[in-house]
A and B are shown apart, each in its own frame.
Chain A
Amino acid sequence: MAIVLRDVVKRYTDRDGTSIAAVDGLTLEVPDGVCLGLLGPNGAGKSTTMRLLTAQSRADEGTINVLGHDIPREAKQARALMGVVPQTDNLDEELTARQNLEVFARLYRVPRAGVRAAVDRALEIAHLTGRADARADKLSGGMRRRLLVARGLVHSPRLVLLDEPTVGLDPQVRADLWGLIAALRASGVTVLMSTHYIEEAERLADTCALMSRGRVIATGSPAELIADHAGDRVEEHEGPPERLAEVEGLAHRAGLPTRRTGPTVSVLRAERIPPSLADNLANGDRVVRRAANLEDVFVMLTGETVD
């Protein structure tokens, strides 16, 4: 196992003295060579989990092990073996792209003779070779994010923590980063990636852990999670509120789960709609039939919405 978290609790005390558990009994295992998507809405505790793994946060309860090293006792050893791409951009704006990477190559103990090659390789991964000597504050948002990723890879780590790697990026840059992450996984690097983009998890993750209120509420491959919790097909009905309530009533009586999405109601496990109900349910509504997805699962399990 690359990462093992057991019954981990992390509490924060607010200014007014109320204590909240950002991570609340989290148990999670990430096998070697797997890309695990940590999926959860804002405030679920994804970033806190990442900080616990680098010992920048200290757990109040539970045990953590990263690449065979107990955290926080052997955290320095573990940090040498992993790369971290944080949610908030913390590049050194006064330095160029190359200098940012050089500093971290040293911090990650890349031997002096190998620094140049390591930096060149990281620049290439991030498609920044042509902008190597541009100051970080002169790079576009997408370039900065790629540089941030490259910085976490400069020492060729065995394990990479990516905290919402594509948030706020345009579709092209996002697709580009997806390619990069897929390539990492293909080369055998273990990836723990948090995201609240369903699509990202579906595309990249071998396994997903759905996180809500500081704990994991379901794990499995995207396909397993969908099959287990949302079935195969979904029927989305559009109509006035009374009609939506009626559809919900009909579906529930037939034992089918539903979820509201703005002006529509989705009937999950639509493949199980009995023929007797089908006509009644269709009844002139505008109906969209689609495959079930992870978002259906998420909303089913948490009642929370995600992007």
Chain B
Amino acid sequence: MTDHLKVFEWAPVRGVWRRELALFRRYWASSSFASIIEPTIYLLAFGFGFGSLVGHVAGYRYVDFVGTGVVATATLFTSVFPGMFNTYIRRTYQHSYDAVLAAPVDVHEVVAGEASWIAVKSGVYSCAPILVSLAFGLRPHAGVVAVPIFTVLTASGFALFGIWASTVVPSINSFDYIISGVLAPLFLVAGTFFPISGLPHWAHPIAHVNPLYHCVELVRHAVFGFHPLADLGHVGALLVFAALMWFLAVRGMRRRLID
């Protein structure tokens, strides 16, 4: 049975999932509550508060614009935070990975397990704002069914980014630098709450290297109508981002876990 263990095996990934599912059975209620309430608050505050001033943005109702933008921000935060904090805590305080790596499991399999769980959970929960938006009058195209694909893809990249970041920081407090220095700008320069065309010209290239921007575009296009060529580019950008982060996360974890 264990005579020919391959370089990549699914058993470790399933092992990580088994753990996460056991925990998820305990906290699904609070997670689900938060994933519905947060976008509702955003939509109430921005959609109605701001929307009453703005009305339409970039050709969309502002409340629809925000509703789709919040999908992307939810994807960002529900993937990058678990990637950073959970893996940091499990590595340094709980020594969980030391335990796992004494079994027939390699570092890249641990990373695959953690990242895939985070990505799927984040990707699914991040669709909640669409449901809330329906209640606020959103009338999406059929393409809306593709939204989970884009959110899972985006969340993969950001989960891996978080895992990589957890191997770079010297202490858990140093995450503050990443949150304010990296995540906050990503969050704001992505066209979530206002279109990037509203930003000064020099900021436009920055938006284009921001994975979250590509996610926002894909989600909006899925809901309001695809732009096939541009969207292929957006998917490509997210794939490149995830691949690069995979490489960095695995390398970082290997350095931290194998001496």
Contact = CB atoms under 8 A, between A and B. Distances in A.
Given A95-B22, A95-B23, A79 B103 contact: yes
Contacts of A298: none
A55 interface: yes
A102 to B, nearest CB: 7
Contacts of A93: 94
A52 to B, nearest CB: 10
B258 A54 contact: no
B15 interface: yes
A54 B96 contact: no
Given A54-B101, A76-B5, A106-B14, A88 B106 contact: no
Contact of A56 (B12, B19, B98): B98
Contact of B18 (A56, A79, A106): A106
B101 A56 contact: yes
Interface in B18-73: 18-19, 22-23
A95 B98 CA distance: 17
A104 B103 CA distance: 8
Give chain A's interface residue range (CB within 8 Å of chain B).
20 to 34
A196 to B, nearest CB: 21
Contacts of B101: 54, 56
Contact of B104 (A76, A94, A102): A76
Given A109-B1, A109-B104, A90 B19 contact: no
B95 A88 contact: yes
Contacts of B102: 54, 56, 79, 84, 86
A86 B99 contact: yes
Given A57-B258, A106-B11, A107-B12, A77 B18 contact: no
B257 A80 contact: no
Contacts, number: 84
A12 B103 contact: no
Nearest to B258: A56
A103 interface: yes
B95 A109 contact: no
A115 B113 CA distance: 20
Interface in A82-139: 84, 86, 88, 90-95, 99, 102-104, 106-109, 111
B239 interface: no
A260 interface: no
Interface in B83-126: 94-96, 98-106
A57 B11 CA distance: 23
Contacts of B106: 76
Interface in A157-201: none
A297 B258 CA distance: 35
A80 B104 contact: yes
B95 A80 contact: no
Nearest to B259: A57
Contacts of A76: 5, 104-106
B2 interface: yes
Contacts of B104: 76-77, 79-80, 107-109
A57 B254 CA distance: 11
B109 to A, nearest CB: 9
Interface in A39-92: 51, 54-58, 76-77, 79-81, 84, 86, 88, 90-92
25 contacts: A54-B102, A56-B259, A57-B258, A76-B106, A77-B5, A79-B103, A79-B105, A81-B2, A84-B102, A86-B95, A90-B94, A92-B99, A95-B19, A95-B22, A99-B22, A103-B15, A103-B18, A103-B19, A103-B22, A104-B15, A106-B11, A106-B18, A107-B15, A109-B104, A151-B99
Q: 5 tightest CB-CB pairs across the interface, nearest first?
A: A80-B2, A90-B95, A84-B102, A80-B104, A107-B103
Given A90-B99, A103-B22, A108-B103, 13 more contacts: A51-B259, A56-B258, A57-B259, A76-B5, A76-B105, A80-B2, A92-B94, A94-B23, A103-B19, A106-B11, A106-B14, A107-B15, A107-B105
